[in-house]
Structure 1
Amino acid sequence: MVSSVRLGAALAVALTLGACGPKGPPVAVEAKHPKRTWIEAGSATPRPYVSPYETVSGCPTTLAQAESVDRVIERGCGPVRVTPDYRLEAGSLTIEAGARLEFEASAGLFIGYSHTARLEIRGEPDAPVVLTSASAAPTPGSWEGLRLFPAAAGSSLAHVELEYAGDRERSALYVEAPEVSVERMRLRDCAGTAVHVSGDGWLARYRGNTLSGLSSPVAMLITPASATAFEGDNEFPPGSRIHVLKGFIRRSGRWGDPGVPFIVTGVIDVAGADEPATLEFAPGVELRFTEGAYINVGYYD
């Protein structure tokens, strides 16, 4: 059974919950300061961050082995063939506008699995980055897709075309990293769900993206913290929906209207971590609840 709630323009909804923990008299605590990440006697000025990894810039013909580098694939490069043996162990991968990467079967971009790493795709409106299959006759699921694991925090994708990727377990774009931004992405002809955000991962921004040719009506699986990323200029196939997984909302935010229903599939707890958390819904947001699902406010107050 699925219940539905639509929040119209005349209805403003805000759910507020205080910080977790028992109530009681004020407790004196030691002032906390950010931990210094530099060593510089007699000075409070941090030294500029210097990556420990070698910077490699250019237009490679293939990416075929694990590496720990700060790699820049330069503007207009390609096609760059990516084999299943490629992965970024640590460092960063920057892909500039107009580059084209073609992936063999079982290949993908796997970022931030065990060490800190970052993916930055810098496409432009007239020069998108293209990530596609190396097959002469590609079909949905011809390659693995993008995997942003927990250590890939702050990764960003802009003006990228992502096609023929994914599988039924982890989708074409799989995110376990926090604070990931996705803007002006065109994702098409993927296997399974297009975008899956799981664990402690969350989207900071999801704007101007177009999904098409999907094999599932569940266009996205997201964590509750990701629902605040939506702005009203995304496009989904008719009949699509976004499934919101169970979890906590620790920070205040506003769920935007993606133009398709949010399906709440479990218990969502609104529970501020260090200060009250306020959850708002933009006019037009449609919430549907599976059996046993609800939004829980006040339990941890």
Structure 2
Amino acid sequence: MKLKNFLMGMLFLAAFMTSCTKEDLLVNVTIKDDISTTTTWESGKVYVIRGSINVDNTTLTIEPGTRIEFETGASLQIGYLGNATLIANGTADKPITFTSNATSPSAGAWNGITFWSNNLNSSLKYCSIKYGGTSTKGAINVLGSNITFSHNIVQNALSYGITLDVNSEFIEMNNNTIENCGNHLIEIYAGKLHTIGVDNLFNCPDGKGINVNSDNVEGTVTWKKLSKPYYVEGEINLVNANLTIEPGSIFKFDNNGEFNVGYTSNCTLIANGTNTEKIVFTTSATSPTAGAWLGFFFWSNNLASSSMTNCEIAYAGKSSNSAVKLIGTSLTFSNNSVHHSGGKGLELDNSSFVAMSNNTFENNTLHAMELSATAINTIGTGNTFTCASGYGIDVNDGGISTPITWKKQTVPYYINVGIDINANLTIQEGTIMKFGSNGTIDVGYINNAVLTAVGSAANPIIFTSSATTPAAGAWEGIYLWDNSDNTIFNYCEFQYAGKGSSTTRAAIKSISSTYTVSNSKFKFSGGWGVNNDANTIFTNTNNTFESCNLGTVGSN
């Protein structure tokens, strides 16, 4: 009988052991009091957190393989009242688990872990953090302190996976997986964005990614390419900064988004993508429209070493601003695409390009570019400009004091200012210039200058009006002064010039100049085709004149 009872007992124990999970066999320890002495949570136990547990003036160490379960609304608060450190470093085969104790947990089942300003270099490695957070806070929150966070998994957070305030950053942040969160995976300030490390895996639906809050960026830092976009809210300001952005990075800006470089101090931005990995700057709007965010501003303290290549700048130019604007500085800008600006694509104010080639401008609301007459020389080759009728390259200032060349572009130059040429200017064949009512060209008024405008039969150089429906005398014309000897026009067309009431008004008016016009056409002048004073030496070869109100060639 005793043997029979013993065997029955063993069978019962075996059945019980078989029906139990691994967790059922662990010892449960309920934590309901704050921790203020050095404490270790041991592997092989389940620690059940009840309420909000503060860890202050001490170090809490959690051994690899330990499981921590949180009751509804429970949380861990590290360093709220006094200096404290959490060391939760698991291993690849013995991760530490932070999760809900609910039978069927859902996102937000517990309130997460918060590291306060008295946190001292806490570390989480090889941890699994599931079902944490509130509607406004992350599963992990860092406030005024720094943490090491690597080889972890964050899943099913109610809102953010991780939040960091403006004074917080990662000491190390690599090889993590963050996914299935109700909001963005990480919320972080721009000044600390460089502390996100490498080999992190981010999974989230479209419209979510890394939430970047408005901030100053300082120091020499790199923003890494991530598997999801950066979502930028408000301004990014580089202050005493050298910022490099890795190829393939994507930035999506809200309607207050703007990027300022060198407003208060010397700064450099290096945003150089590649042919296969463009850097994208665009809007976060679900249904984007032109002018959805402000754009880039390079100020006078931007250094000439700044560079944007193989970038896409889309839907910027809010409130008719330009997508990219330079103010008193210079920039390398090549192999980029600028499209759907609410204003101009690119604007230079007392600025120039270090290099500028192979860019594409299209579907911008206003001109593709605005720049000075001198800066035109810094436009390189291989650029494609596609604009609506009446738009092209707007010339905003007319002083030329060094020898330059205006290259032929795929759209006209629009000129509504006086262009004062006091050095040699060469205009390439096929170039089209459209003048507003205030547009003029003055050659050699102060210093010696030569204008060389040599087109061809197939590609004449055209000087005409910018008016939608032009009429004779829509713009003034070209003035050749006594310092403009040896100016040459060959295969050019002059249309709708001769504005004014003077009896000497003309498409070309010479004052004591020696110049040549050949194989060219004068049409619809409001005055003469050409008017020369008595001291002018004019070589007139194979030109045609049509509908010039005062005549072909006049003299006074």
Classify the TM-score, shorter chain: 0.7 to 0.9
Q: Distance in 1 between matches of 2:173 and 2:259?
A: 23
Q: Distance in 1 between matches of 2:117 and 2:44?
A: 28
Q: Distance in 2 between matches of 1:213 and 1:182?
A: 18
Q: Which amino acid aligns with 1:296?
A: N
Q: Distance in 2 between matches of 1:146 and 1:215?
A: 17
Q: Which amino acid aligns with 2:209?
A: R
Q: Distance in 1 between matches of 2:242 and 2:145?
A: 20
Check conservation: 1:154, 1:177, Cα contact below 8 A.
Answer: no
Q: Which residue of 2 aligns with 1:268?
A: 236
Q: Distance in 1 between matches of 2:225 and 2:164?
A: 18
> SS of 1:67's equivalent?
coil
Is 1:191–2:162 an aligned residue pair?
no
Q: Taking structure 1 as reference, are residues 219 and 72 closer, same or farther at Cα in structure 2, changes over 3 Å only?
A: same
> SS of 1:226's equivalent?
helix
Is 1:64–2:32 an aligned residue pair?
yes
Q: Which residue of 1 aligns with 2:78?
A: 111
Q: Distance in 1 between matches of 2:218 and 2:49?
A: 38
Give 1:60 shift. 8.0
Q: 2:186 aligns with which of 220, 224, 227?
A: 220
Q: Distance in 2 between matches of 1:265 and 1:85?
A: 32
Q: Which residue of 1 aligns with 2:8?
A: none
Q: Which residue of 1 aligns with 2:211?
A: 243
Q: Taking structure 1 as reference, are residues 222 and 71 closer, same or farther at Cα in structure 2, changes over 3 Å only?
A: same
Alignment of 1:147-226 (within 5 A): 147-216=114-183, 218-226=184-192
Runs of 4+ that moved beyond 6 A: none
> SS of 1:225's equivalent?
helix
Q: Taking structure 1 as reference, are residues 82 and 243 closer, same or farther at Cα in structure 2, changes over 3 Å only?
A: same
Check conservation: 2:229, 2:252, Cα contact below 8 A.
Answer: yes
Give 1:261 shift. 0.7
Q: Which amino acid aligns with 1:156?
A: S
Q: 1:89 aligns with which of 39, 45, 56?
A: 56
Q: Distance in 2 between matches of 1:63 and 1:253?
A: 42
Q: Which amino acid aligns with 1:78?
A: K
Q: Taking structure 1 as reference, are residues 177 and 77 closer, same or farther at Cα in structure 2, changes over 3 Å only?
A: farther
Q: Which residue of 2 aligns with 1:43?
A: none
Alignment of 1:8-47 (within 5 A): none
Check conservation: 1:230, 1:257, Cα contact below 8 A.
Answer: no
Check conservation: 2:179, 2:185, Cα contact below 8 A.
Answer: no
> SS of 2:152's equivalent?
strand
CA displacement 1:201-228 (0-9 Å, x = unmatched): 1123221111222223x22211123321
Q: Distance in 2 between matches of 1:159 and 1:99?
A: 11
Q: Distance in 2 between matches of 1:152 and 1:96?
A: 19
Q: 1:281 aligns with which of 245, 248, 272?
A: 245
Q: Which residue of 2 aligns with 1:294?
A: 258
Bigger Cα displacement from structure 2, 155-164 vs 277-286? 277-286
Q: Which amino acid aligns with 1:64?
A: K
Q: Distance in 2 between matches of 1:198 and 1:287?
A: 20
Q: Distance in 1 between matches of 2:28 and 2:84?
A: 20
Q: Distance in 1 between matches of 2:145 and 2:108?
A: 25
Check conservation: 2:70, 2:99, Cα contact below 8 A.
Answer: yes
Check conservation: 2:216, 2:239, Cα contact below 8 A.
Answer: yes
Q: Which amino acid aligns with 1:103?
A: F
Q: Taking structure 1 as reference, are residues 69 and 269 closer, same or farther at Cα in structure 2, changes over 3 Å only?
A: farther
Q: Structure 1: which 5+ runs fail to align?
A: 1-58
| Number of residue pairs the alignment of both structures matches | 237
Check conservation: 1:60, 1:73, Cα contact below 8 A.
Answer: no
Q: Distance in 2 between matches of 1:159 and 1:85?
A: 24
Check conservation: 2:188, 2:211, Cα contact below 8 A.
Answer: yes
Is 1:134–2:98 an aligned residue pair?
no
> SS of 1:114's equivalent?
coil
Give 1:167 shift. 0.9
Give 1:107 shift. 1.0
Q: Distance in 2 between matches of 1:179 and 1:257?
A: 22
Give 1:270 shift. 2.2
Q: Distance in 1 between matches of 2:242 and 2:84?
A: 32
Q: Taking structure 1 as reference, are residues 157 and 175 closer, same or farther at Cα in structure 2, changes over 3 Å only?
A: same
Q: Which residue of 2 aligns with 1:77?
A: 44
Q: Distance in 2 between matches of 1:87 and 1:270?
A: 38
Task: Point out the structure with max Rg over C-alpha.
Answer: 2
Q: Which has the higher helix share?
A: 2
Q: Distance in 1 between matches of 2:151 and 2:52?
A: 29
CA RMSD of aligned residues (A): 1.8
Give 1:192 shift. 0.9
Q: Taking structure 1 as reference, are residues 249 and 69 closer, same or farther at Cα in structure 2, changes over 3 Å only?
A: farther
Q: Which residue of 2 aligns with 1:122?
A: 89
Give 1:150 shift. 1.5
Q: Which fold has the larger relative contact order, with Cα–Cα distance below 8 Å and residues 6 or more apart in sequence?
A: 1
CA displacement 1:34-76 (0-9 Å, x = unmatched): xxxxxxxxxxxxxxxxxxxxxxxxx9812211221222223x2
Q: Distance in 2 between matches of 1:166 and 1:246?
A: 23
Q: TM-score, normalised by structure 1?
A: 0.74
Q: Which amino acid aligns with 1:236?
A: F
Q: Which amino acid aligns with 2:195?
A: A
Give 1:162 shift. 0.4
Is 1:233–2:199 an aligned residue pair?
yes
Q: Distance in 2 between matches of 1:128 and 1:115?
A: 28
CA displacement 1:70-89 (0-9 Å, x = unmatched): 22223x23211111042112
Q: Which amino acid aligns with 2:76?
A: L
CA displacement 1:258-283 (0-9 Å, x = unmatched): 211111111122224xxxx3211112
Percent same amino acid at aligned positions? 24
Q: Distance in 2 between matches of 1:212 and 1:286?
A: 19
Q: TM-score, normalised by structure 2?
A: 0.41
> SS of 1:299's equivalent?
coil
Bigger Cα displacement from structure 2, 194-203 vs 156-165? 194-203
